[in-house]
Amino acid sequence: MEWLRRTNLTTGLKGAAFLPSIDEFDIDATRHGKWGPWLTAGKDAEEAIEAAKGVNRWLFYEDVMRSGRLASTATPGMHVYILRMLRSAAVNVQRPTFVDAGCGTGFLLQAWLLMAGADARAIGLELDALTAAQALWHLHHPEAVGIGLAASVHGATVHVGDALSPDVRKLGLREGTVDAINVGLAVDHIGALEPLARLLRAGGLMSAPLCKTQQPADMPQDKCAARFRILSKGIEGTLSPQPSDPDIDVRFIRGMVSAPHSIRKNSQLPRPRQRMARHLAISPA
């Protein structure tokens, strides 16, 4: 972090559509922001922060800065909070499996692998093939994690498909085998999460934003004021809020069932990543 402050690379990113402050890369600062009350103490918080600090956030964020597509990522505080709240689902599990439905840049996938251990699995779902290709490229980059850290890229996959209606077979999963799921899109009601809930094992955890019934008059149609919930799957198969769920106010992109987006023409993505994106686009999940 001190190196980044000294070099101030964000000011040298020519042609960038979005230039964040250096604090956007300061994981330690998440203890003092909106999400701080849940990140200041405890084993889950410590492990989540340590994992997030091990990921090269600059690498995972560079495409966002160049394109200005802020919807493909979240704040550092939210990322660490999600890891902290889902970590218990990976404890004492032989091969902790995580699905990020709407994985964006892939940051949470990489952080889960560091946090959950060498045998962990992280599976991303992304509707847009370009974003999915970027995530996969990030995960396989030799500088994806810090020096001395081992990233098990073999445990990470990214699929193009509808995050809210996954094809279990194409994801290489069986229903009831996933330990934790993050939903990167807001839904109007908990029933919209049922296809994802079928992936979870009993006792598995899900983080998801649920749109409020009443919305501000000036809220864009593709967004909503939501409550960020931590849900647990019961033995009867239903989702219910965790007793410790703080139920935090957020503003989120609305999720919609839709067909996968193919690679856009004249993309600014470098050619190696364009080839990866085309491969993903012809084999949607």
Asked whether residue 268 carries a pLDDT value surpassing 90, the answer given is: no
Percentage of the chain exceeding pLDDT 70: 76
Note the residue count of the chain: 285
**For residue 266, what are the CA distances in angstroms to 3, 127, 132, 250?**
35, 19, 17, 34
Highest mean pLDDT among 8-22, 116-130, 144-158: 116-130
5 pLDDT exceeds 80? no
**pLDDT band at 69; cut points 50, 70, 90:** low
Give the integer Cα–Cα distance in Å for 206 and 94: 19
Residue 71: is its pLDDT beyond 70? no
pLDDT category of residue 68 using cuts at 50, 70 and 90: low
Q: Which of 159, 160, 154, 195 is nearest to 178 (CA)?
A: 195
Per-residue pLDDT at 125: 95
16 vs 68: CA distance, rounded Å? 7
What's the N-to-C CA distance of the chain in angstroms? 37
What is the rounded average pLDDT of the residues 1-10?
50
Burial tier of 9 (Cβ tally within 10 Å: 0-12, 13-18, 19+): middle
Q: How high is the pLDDT of residue 61?
A: 80
For residue 278, is pLDDT > 90? no
The pLDDT of 255-265, averaged and rounded, is 48
Per residue in 170-217, pLDDT (tens digit) is: 898 999 999 999 999 999 999 999 999 999 999 999 999 999 999 999
Q: How far apart are CA 86 and CA 84, in angstroms?
A: 6
Cα separation, 130 vs 267, whole angstroms: 8
Is the pLDDT score of 2 beyond 70?
no
Q: How would residue 80 be classed by pLDDT, with cut points 50, 70 and 90? A: very high
Q: What is the mean pLDDT of residues 113-131?
A: 92
Distances (CA, A) of 131 to 36, 127, 143, 235, 280: 29, 8, 19, 35, 10
- Continuous segment of H or E residues that includes residue 115: helix 107-116
Give me the pLDDT at residue 7, please: 47
> Which is more confident, 154 or 235?
235
Q: What is the pLDDT of residue 121?
A: 95
Q: Which pLDDT does position 75 carry in this prediction?
A: 85
pLDDT of residue 150 exceeding 80, the answer is no
Checking if the pLDDT of 9 tops 70, the result is no
Percent of the chain with pLDDT over 90: 57
Query: What distance in Å separates the CA atoms of residue 112 and residue 94, rounded to the nearest whole number?
Result: 14
pLDDT (tens digit, 9 = 90+) per residue, 212-254?
Answer: 999 999 999 999 999 999 999 999 999 999 988 999 999 999 9
Euclidean distance between CA atoms 67 and 70, whole angstroms? 8
pLDDT value at 263 more than 60: no
